[in-house]
Structure 1
């Protein structure tokens, strides 16, 4: 078996080189051909993935942004992925139970069960987790301006406080499958997974296997209301606030526009400003999971069933 590893040298965790060396050594002991390829700049993992013809499995070592790049480089080609969680949030790794030890990574690569899930696209670029508009996107943009090398949750504190003090909530217009569902100042998230930063589940009905994208739009025009939304989200009660203007909807195509300059983030990376058009890409990405991960996947019961290849 031929395994290609794609690694991001500036993902969140330090001291990872020993782990990556151990992964390569474990592959050799199991008789697999394995080689690391290192991304040299932002977005370079997409180029490496595009040049991975002939690989039976790709091991992606990095954060959620690195996984996003690899998925965009593959363009739906179907090469199965195993994730080594080395980023700050590692949302995909947590959602699908990817391991962080060398033996477990190679066991997953050689013995894992294929699982095909949906992706989304925003203005033709694929995403795996979320597209954020407004407040969270401005935090991501501010972080990108000051980021130097490895980051941690503490690195977000300065950009978060700065955004909280200065953010002007944009006027948003949200359409789902051609129907206008929201028009107000606020923030919005479109995604394919329920898990979000810090373990929050804003898109709490989302399933990566239902052929739909989820959107949550929160009306907000003040810092006080933002804090109330944050409290509701932490309690899992925000989707109960439809009478207060909160919109939660699902669809195959979600458009968001604004007369204001409104920042956008995609899978935790800055992605310009509105307008955007998000579309679902059904069964676009293949992951390798373990049978016992069914306990994790059971969270999707009622929102989408586990669909093996």
Structure 2
């Protein structure tokens, strides 16, 4: 089996030698492994665009690197396996990947692909979540130098700055069945249960389901929004927050958009579920 191993050496939890050791573990499993190191933002997607001659792609990095690889492969994805090395590693937690590197590498070589649903927001795909509102503004404002030092702390610091300084912007969403929700402060389209790490935001969501679970929060003041977000992260989704099930929606408004924890521009986009599209080895 020939594997294309795309690794991000700048990923959050990178430890000296982990990429080299992972490649060696996979070779011991009988795989022919070719290593490609990313050098700049977007490089993983460029590397993933050429999969000729490879049976699988193995991605060492965080959720953002995985997102780049998925988008780079489309519209003809190869089976993808993951060596989690990021800050939050939501996909690894969601799928309960092994914690030991050797076990992760054995799974990458010998595991069987399972078809996962992807979300598509405009021309871009996501695997875990899409967020419109203050979470996206916080992602966009993350200081990358601080992220290298503090990890998740950089996201919390950016979120605090956004909460403190920026006005809450109104968002509207229209579900696939025609139901319209006006005057929202936050929309999170969940293709997975977890958000930002171990926080269970949408218990019924699954990357293997053909539909999303969508968390919406009505427009409110910044203090009320803070309390509501804190309750959501504790798994307490109750009024004024709601969770809806849909296969697609249209988001509009003046807010920002994030996909799998990466900034993605304006929050004015059509989002749809694409079931059974990605062969994922988990």
Give the alignment's TM-score, normalised by structure 2: 0.93
Runs of 4+ in structure 1 deviating by more than 4 angstroms, as ranges, are none
Cα-Cα RMSD: 1.8
1:136 aligns with 135
* SS class of match (2:19): helix
Alpha-carbon offset, residue 80 of structure 1: 1.6
1:307 aligns with none
2:248 aligns with 253
Would the alpha carbon gap of residues 157 and 213 (structure 1) be closer, same or farther in structure 2, given more than 3 Å must change?
closer
1:109 aligns with 108
For 1:234-258, what per-residue CA distance to the aligned partner results, in whole angstroms no more than 9, with x for missing partners?
Answer: 34221x32xx4x3322222211111
Alpha-carbon offset, residue 119 of structure 1: 0.5
Would the alpha carbon gap of residues 156 and 12 (structure 1) be closer, same or farther in structure 2, given more than 3 Å must change?
same
Q: Which of the numbers 134, 143, 147 marks the counterpart of 2:144?
A: 147
Matched, 1:229 2:228: yes
Alpha-carbon offset, residue 214 of structure 1: 2.2
Alpha-carbon offset, residue 117 of structure 1: 0.9
Decide which structure has greater helix share: 1
Q: How many residues were matched structurally?
A: 280
Q: Which of the numbers 260, 267, 280 marks the counterpart of 1:267?
A: 260
2:274 aligns with 281
Equivalent residues in 2 for 1:9-24 (5 A)?
9-15=9-15, 17-24=16-23
For 1:7-28, what per-residue CA distance to the aligned partner results, in whole angstroms no more than 9, with x for missing partners?
Answer: 112211242x411111122223
Consecutive unaligned residues in structure 1, runs of 5 or more? 290-309
Q: Distance in 1 between matches of 2:229 and 2:213?
A: 19
Q: Distance in 2 between matches of 1:27 and 1:110?
A: 7
* SS class of match (1:150): helix
Q: Distance in 2 between matches of 1:188 and 1:26?
A: 41
* SS class of match (2:40): coil
Alpha-carbon offset, residue 147 of structure 1: 1.3
1:34 aligns with 33
- For structure 1, which segment, 74-83 or 107-116, has the greater mean C-alpha deviation from structure 2 after superposition? 74-83
* SS class of match (2:86): coil
8 A Cα contact 1:84 1:99, kept in partner = no
Q: Distance in 2 between matches of 1:29 and 1:159?
A: 43
* SS class of match (2:210): coil
Q: Distance in 2 between matches of 1:69 and 1:274?
A: 19
Equivalent residues in 2 for 1:190-205 (5 A)?
190-205=189-204
8 A Cα contact 1:13 1:150, kept in partner = no
Give the alignment's TM-score, normalised by structure 1: 0.85
Q: Distance in 1 between matches of 2:279 and 2:202?
A: 22
